[in-house]
């Protein structure tokens, strides 16, 4: 398996100081910036769009930006986010009319592509698109809000996806999003995840470095 990646979700950051918050969490050793896009349609909450992503790039952020689209429709936002500096674009398959086309669109725009599965979304959406995926992300909460508790049924589902990835022979990251904390990250990794989104667990603490270090320690156990 490839090195573990920690991806703080800026949904839990102080939006009034977003540039500083991102600098601080990256200086603390985080690997990737997780960017939650909510549209008050696919999910019952509203966050930020391509302009904020582009502002982070202009601010000097060079780390990968992992854009998690919780929007419907999906395709119209793909070119805008690619232009705004997204490195990875993931979307929920049930929000796209043509999943294969959306994956191709993301790749044509030079970004890594991934599918996101809600807790009750079946894995059958993977059946014909494994060759087009860089990332599979499992939601371990229902999307729309930070600070929710990890849904334990995600652990066997992660193990199932880990098996599917390993048997496919494709080089695909397995990301997990929602309720990830220092005290559960080790068992989530043991179930097969190799990329961890954490919002409130990191930004909810005064010392980001301490949390990131604790997470890494848990991951080496
Ligand atoms: C939820 C978002 C998550 C969220 C995670 O819809 O996709 O990325 O911010 O937040 P925590 O880590 O607080 O559960
Ligand atoms: Zn997310």
Domain extent at residue 121 = 5-220
Put simply, whether the predicted model's pTM sits higher than 0.80 gets the answer yes
- Confidence band, pLDDT 50/70/90 cuts, at residue 159: very high
Catalytic residue among 36, 39, 66, 194: 36
Which atom of ligand 1 is nearest to 140's Cα? Answer: 14
- Confidence band, pLDDT 50/70/90 cuts, at residue 221: confident
The pLDDT assigned to 1 comes to 64
**pLDDT at 16 > cutoff 70:** yes
Distance CA 14, CA 22 (A): 10
CATH number, domain of 76, equals 3.20.20.70
36 carries a ligand binding annotation: yes
- Confidence band, pLDDT 50/70/90 cuts, at residue 2: confident
The number of domains in the chain is 1
- Of 7, 10, 11, 139, best ligand 1 pocket probe by most atoms within 8 Å of the beta carbon: 11
Could you tell me the end-to-end alpha-carbon distance of the chain, in angstroms, rounded to an integer? 15
Q: What tens digit of pLDDT does each residue of 73-87 get?
A: 999 999 999 999 999
Q: What tens digit of pLDDT does each residue of 108-141 get?
A: 999 999 999 999 999 999 999 999 999 999 999 9
The pLDDT assigned to 77 comes to 98
Q: Which two tokens stand for residue 219?
A: 């991951």
ipTM topping 0.90: yes
- Is 177 catalytic? The answer is yes
Distance CA 126, CA 116 (A): 10
Nearest CA to ligand 1 atom 10: 146
Q: What tens digit of pLDDT does each residue of 22-71 get?
A: 999 999 999 999 999 999 999 999 999 999 999 999 999 999 999 999 99
């Amino acid at each position: 398996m490839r090195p573990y990646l920690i991806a703080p979700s800026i949904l839990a950051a102080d939006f009034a100081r977003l540039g500083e918050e991102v600098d601080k969490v990256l200086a603390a050793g985080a690997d990737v910036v997780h960017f939650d896009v909510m549209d008050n349609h696919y999910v019952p909450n509203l966050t930020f769009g391509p302009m904020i992503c582009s502002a982070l790039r202009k601010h000097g952020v060079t780390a990968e930006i992992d854009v998690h689209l919780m929007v419907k429709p999906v395709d119209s936002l793909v070119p805008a986010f690619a232009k705004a500096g997204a490195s990875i674009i993931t979307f929920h398959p049930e929000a796209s009319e043509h999943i294969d086309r959306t994956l191709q669109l993301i790749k044509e725009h030079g970004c890594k592509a991934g599918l996101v599965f809600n807790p009750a979304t079946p894995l059958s959406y993977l059946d014909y698109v494994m060759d087009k995926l860089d990332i599979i992300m499992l939601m371990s909460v229902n999307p729309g809000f930070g600070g929710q508790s990890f849904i334990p049924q995600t652990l066997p589902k992660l193990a199932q996806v880990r098996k599917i990835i390993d048997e496919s022979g494709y080089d695909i990251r397995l990301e997990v999003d929602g309720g990830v904390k220092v005290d559960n990250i080790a068992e989530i990794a043991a179930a097969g995840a190799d990329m961890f989104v954490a919002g409130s667990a990191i930004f909810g603490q005064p010392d980001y470095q301490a949390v990131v270090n604790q997470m890494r320690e848990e991951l080496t156990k």
